[in-house]
Structure 1
Amino acid sequence: MKFKIDATTPFSSARAGEITTDHGVIPTPIFMPVGTVGSVKGVHMRELREDIDAKIILGNTYHLYLRPGLDVIRGAGGLHKFNSWNHPILTDSGGFQVFSLSSNRKLKEEGAYFRSHIDGSKYLFTPEGVVDIQRTIGSDIMMALDECPPGTSDFSYARKSLDLTHRWLKRGWQRYQETEGLYGYSQAYFPIVQGCVYPELRKESARFVSDLGADGNAIGGLAVGEPTEKMYEMIEVVNDILPSDRPRYLMGVGTPANILEAIDRGVDMMDCVMPTRNGRNGMLFTSNGIMNMRNKKWADDFSELDPDGTAWVDHEYSRAYVRHLFVSQELLAMQIASVHNLAFYLHLVKEARKHIVAGDFASWKKEMIERVTRRL
């Protein structure tokens, strides 16, 4: 994997860059649609390619390991062939999913014991095993196994959690260096900075991660219950230390405003389930604000979903029609909303890149924050 910076911009840490993988080039900043089980919910691969113009999608080690299982994925020749997505894929290590199963998991020095949410069967994820699983999945970018502590953790817990994450990272990094991909292309491995909301822990973790010299680095453990301003503070603390010549991936964030603020602080890659999850529940993100499509005010509004946005797929449908679909509980409503939201997110980061290159990102971002946070 290669990364180059194409442009920076005044009054901001934002940068425009380019990540090159064996499955394609990713212009940054980039938003990555979440395809947890190998699919982005309710969205065809054709729509991801043509309507949304996604450059990279995510898969999840935990979910893919349980279903369909490694034998099926290996038999298909890796996830790219299994799901017909011949473009870059990043896989989360499953650490966050194990964290979310707090009542069904135990963390030990050897790894994370957990019970399947499907049938209750018991498994162990080790740092080495998670590398092996992601080798079988065949993602272009693999993530290290970590513990994601709650944003409200006290310092003592955050300290112990970080120490465990760093010990696991040493083991995972060694396994990564000792192994090779299975399908004839290279795979990168991103370590994850943790440390909760404590600057001294975040700084320590950022230095620890930087010293590995990995192809890219991730910032985890944010947007998990801490105040938004704390999240922004931790991004700044970490990005002051992480090497500027490697991509920085902020995991699991967030709203359009969160994304713009993260880009402003030097983040290159982001992902979140919000565009599809909120879309399925009737919330649309637009260039002029947020719409609840079940509101009666849209019942006779025959304008496009986002008249001031670019002409992505939603130009086919009026607000009145999409509201009718949601009120009628038609599955098409969820599909239209998911495609729309993802297209808007990808449009937003493309516009951010354009304004970084133009040198006026700071003023554009200020205007966009005001627009995308309105309730319409």
Structure 2
Amino acid sequence: MSYHSIICSCNFNLFFLLSLILYYLSIPAAFAIPKTQIGKTPVIFVFGDSNSDTGGLAAGLGFRINLPNGRTFFHRSTGRLSDGRLVIDFLCQSLNSSLLTPYLDALSGSTFANGANFAIVGSSTLPKYVPFSLNIQVMQFVHFKARTLELVSTGKRNLINDQGFRDALYLIDIGQNDIADSFSKNLSYVEVTKKIPDFVTEIENAIKTLYNQGARKFWVHNTGPLGCLPKILSLSPKKNLDSFGCLSSYNAAARLFNEELFHVSQKLRIQLTDATIVYVDVHSIKYDLIANATKYGFSNPLMVCCGSGGPPYNYDVRVTCGQPGYQVCEEGSPHVNWDGIHHTEAANKMIASRILSTAYSNPRVPFDFLFRH
């Protein structure tokens, strides 16, 4: 989500630390990320916002993302807004594939043989032609594909060929910023919901453009319960909270967005008969994680790990994660939220495992199936 807001900190007692150790000892069956054997290198192209940005903001705008971001898995900042891996990282690892390189990372040394990540922190569907809106990301892909095939035609090796682009998976995860930014402009709930069809139309247009470029396999995530994000809770009037402490109006708008996106996915399946379009209900996964945090071994799901301010949310827009004055919880603490907007690696791992289960997919197509056919 928006790069100008990142977050949280808490000190947990020995009881929680011991509980966490026991929890992690018990998670292989519950949250294990299954590995599959794929005959050829899986190719994935990602379009979205900070939920999937693996370093694009830092590479594209030089925006500094400091430690403790990245501390858990990478032991350094990689430009991800989390303590470790994102959902897309776990999805790649389930395929035994390398993690995706940001498209704009000029010094990565990557040939992008396994795809590229166009997702950028703060991105939305509208307005168009603003870095890095969804249509800009798609335009970047079109340029990337044309340049890659040009190099292939000259004999360059270890690049994606035309069939590779056709066989690739195109993952889209965007929309959260559109809704949140609309509310931040003091629009009413009704005014926000009237904008939703335009947001979804941009996603529909992106899929059609990619289809015309030869894409045939699409993986579309709906948007999460942004009314449960500590940043939004801390900055909004505490009215109409649900039983789990989330803002009902924000979550209702997210659900309307998701319903519209679901219907568009169904319509596109009819129109693009030779394409596979999988719609994934990430909203239900994330809301269940908030509602049943204790069941999954987490605590205080609305309090962030890296930020400032203390309970109930530990979010202060003036002192965000990695900025002077922040505090951070103990590494390994059972937090759902990392910085007020983004999830911890532990939460991302659970979310990815649920996505891979196919229980939240329509149709229920296994993630790795798209790389075997």
User: TM (normalized to structure 2)?
Assistant: 0.38
Bigger relative contact order, structure 1 or 2 (CA pairs below 8 A, ≥6 apart): 2
User: TM (normalized to structure 1)?
Assistant: 0.38
